[in-house]
Amino acid sequence: MSARRHIPATDDTELDMTPMLDIVFIMLIFFIVTTSFVKESGVTVNSPEAKTASSQENANIFIAITAEGEVWVDRRPVDARSVRAIVARLHADNPEGSVIIQSDEDASTRMLVEVMDQVRLAGVKGIAIAANKGDE
């Protein structure tokens, strides 16, 4: 007859949480890396109204032009001539994104055209001008 040792049953069983925590941290890192961050302009402007205005889904860079002619990118005022370099740097982070120019309804057309020209020179294909949805 073989000798068997009797192992007493204990209620001290523990569940190892390490694998679950590893998975949670890996998912967290994945979501942080794949998230595209929106670069806001940093100033509020009164956009003109347009009946054909539509929403832009993949915009990630916002440029604001105030009524006084100030240009704002990424929550700080910038010179209109430096918009090209700033947009090129921000666009490199998300090449599929587009640029929204939020021009005040009292801003000069000259400033709007100058900013649009700088954005195009930065290599951005998708440019839109923000407008509020007007009544039909």
pTM of the model: 0.65
Q: Minimal CA–CA distance to 132: which of 104, 108, 112?
A: 104
Q: Mean pLDDT, to the nearest integer, of 91-111?
A: 87
* Position 34 in a domain: no
Q: H helices within the chain, ranges in order?
A: 18-34, 83-93, 109-121
Q: What is the extent of the structural domain holding 105?
A: 49-133
* Opening angle at CA 68, ends 67 and 70, nearest 5: 100
Average pLDDT, the chain: 82
User: What is the per-residue pLDDT across 30-77, written as a single tens digit (0 to 9) for each?
Assistant: 888 877 666 666 777 777 777 677 776 677 788 999 999 999 998 889
Residue 92 predicted with pLDDT over 70: yes
* Position 32 in a domain: no
Q: Specify the pLDDT at position 26.
A: 94
User: What is the per-residue pLDDT across 76-86, written as a single tens digit (0 to 9) for each?
Assistant: 899 988 999 99
* Position 40 in a domain: no
Q: Specify the pLDDT at position 8.
A: 63
Q: Mean pLDDT, to the nearest integer, of 5-11?
A: 64
Q: H helices within 9-69, ranges in order?
A: 18-34
State percent of the chain over pLDDT 90: 29
User: What is the per-residue pLDDT across 120-129, written as a single tens digit (0 to 9) for each?
Assistant: 999 888 888 8
Based on the structure, what is the number of domains in the chain? 1
Look up the CATH number of the domain holding residue 69: 3.30.420.270
